[in-house]
Structure 1
Amino acid sequence: MTTRLKTLGVAAAAAAIAISTAITAHAEEPTTEDVPGAPDVHGSGCDALKEELGPDGLDRIFKQSASAAIAAIPSLSTYSSAISGGLNPAVNVVNVLDNGPYNVFAPTDEAFAKLDPAELEALKADPDRLYATVYYSMSLGLLGPEDVHGKLTSQEGRQITVTGKGGDIKVDDTAKVVCAGVTAENAKIYLIDTVLSPDNALPATATTTTSPTETTEATETTEPSETTETSEAVEPTETTETEAA
């Protein structure tokens, strides 16, 4: 009888341990609420972006590389081709972009459609110009819509000027951000309504080119000839005439 009770006690204890382990394991499993989602986006075009991405689209992009995230956004298909060799096989910056972090100012398909057809064809046919254009749309960093304003040095070398915050942001005073802060694994993506051109930016060294000229002009205003004229005003001949008298 005692042996039977002991057996039952051991079995009950084993069952209790198993139930406790199962409950603990279940409690430690992450829930949907524990997994961080993509930060919210801002701008007048964000509702349209969410609609084209479908349910949880921003959360899916949140886990992708920059190039994959851009490729996953239907309205960025032309820009995706521009950075990946689709417009010109000689121009492929995917490896550079995916080794970010980068702030990416990505023109939408509608932005490319605003270009004159001849200008777009010329852009496709000129690798140097296409490289400059896509690199000008990228700047090192990972800045959200509240912090992206100011002067940003592009991958191309010239500075991008960003003004505004949140859902009201402009780039180089020519492009409006239609949806700001789409977050990928290594990028903040800003959908813009105009293709940026490095020709609209000042070189990063522009502020230093005027300094030597201004300094030279300042020294030239103090002309040594004025000092010479002053010394000539006291003529030694007057002293000679006095002695002669």
Structure 2
Amino acid sequence: MRVKKRNLMAVLSLSAVATFGLAACSTGTSSGDAASEGPSMTEETTMPRTDTMDPAANLVGPGCADYAEAVPDGDGSVAGMAEDPVAVAASNNPLLTQLTAAVSGQLNPDVDLVDTLNGGEFTVFAPVDDAFAALDAATVTALQGDADLLTSILTYHVVPGQLAPDAVAGEHATVQGGMVEVTGEGDSLMVNDASVICGGVTTANATVYLIDGILMPPTE
């Protein structure tokens, strides 16, 4: 499922409008035992980080400059995201309000992956708000009522271990169990049929690639 890339500045100006009628939320806590935490996310490989690493050093993608210009500092900036675990960092990013709602129980109260995402080392392919806006109403309704379906889609965007831009190309097993394929290089990376807007964004425990489409797990 694809959504046409737009100027990142325009996306940022519209990000306050919640596509699902949901407000962006803080992801510092989970919603309790009733929430589904999805499949176990086992750490496989990690990309070591040190306090001296520049969070912007390995960024790739045609939208990185616009992102840095629009959010030059603060918790949602490239430098700010590096300080927090991935679910918290995503909640501070103005491009990821709908993804934040989906993983934190706002879209479906039985799906809360915050603690799981914050608890290991991952590569996260993060659909921006425009990708969620492209979903039709029937799909949104289905996701609101089907915790297993939503969990499957969300965990298909997560790969155990951190993959830097120079190592992300290839096929990777996701937490959901299906394979995701990353092709291209540099500013022309694709994840399945979605384009990377800005990738290599580091958080305290993950490497994030902002993408312009929602990845759908393969059907058997």
Normalising by structure 2, we get a TM-score of 0.71
Q: Deviations over 1:9-67 (max 9, x none)?
A: xxxxxxxxxxxxxxxxxxxxxxxxx9543133111111232233233621111111011
Q: How does 1:1-245 map to 2 (within 5 A)?
A: 35-40=52-57, 41-55=59-73, 57-172=77-192, 174-199=193-218
Which 10-residue stretch deviates more, 37-46 or 125-134?
A: 37-46
The alignment partner of 2:218 has SS state of helix
Contact map agreement 1:166 1:180 (CA 8 A) in 2: no
Separation in 2, partners of 1:87, 1:54 = 29
Taking only aligned residues, the RMSD between alpha carbons, in angstroms, comes to: 1.7
Separation in 1, partners of 2:149, 2:191 = 20
More helix by share: 1
Residue 80 of structure 2 aligns to which amino acid in structure 1?
A: R
Q: Deviations over 1:154-196 (max 9, x none)?
A: 1001111111222211111x11111111100110000111111
Separation in 2, partners of 1:104, 1:186 = 10
Residue 128 of structure 1 aligns to which amino acid in structure 2?
A: D
Q: Deviations over 1:201-245 (max 9, x none)?
A: xx6xxxxxxxxxxxxxxxxxxxxxxxxxxxxxxxxxxxxxxxxxx
Contact map agreement 2:152 2:217 (CA 8 A) in 1: yes
Cα shift at 1:141: 1.2
Separation in 2, partners of 1:44, 1:36 = 22
Q: Which has the larger radius of gyration?
A: 1
**What is the total number of aligned residue pairs between the two structures?**
167
Contact map agreement 2:155 2:174 (CA 8 A) in 1: yes
Contact map agreement 1:145 1:167 (CA 8 A) in 2: no
Cα shift at 1:86: 1.3
Residue 213 of structure 2 aligns to which amino acid in structure 1?
A: T
Separation in 2, partners of 1:108, 1:183 = 16
Separation in 2, partners of 1:71, 1:155 = 21
Q: Deviations over 1:87-137 (max 9, x none)?
A: 111001111111221000010000111111221221222111000011000
Can you give the 5+ residue segments of structure 1 that lack an aligned partner in the other structure?
A: 1-33, 204-245
Residue 166 of structure 1 aligns to which amino acid in structure 2?
A: G
Q: Please list every run of at least 4 consecutive aligned residues from structure 1 whose deviation after the TM superposition is greater than 4 angstroms.
A: none
Separation in 2, partners of 1:55, 1:131 = 32
Residue 67 of structure 1 aligns to which amino acid in structure 2?
A: A
Contact map agreement 1:52 1:74 (CA 8 A) in 2: no
Normalising by structure 1, we get a TM-score of 0.64
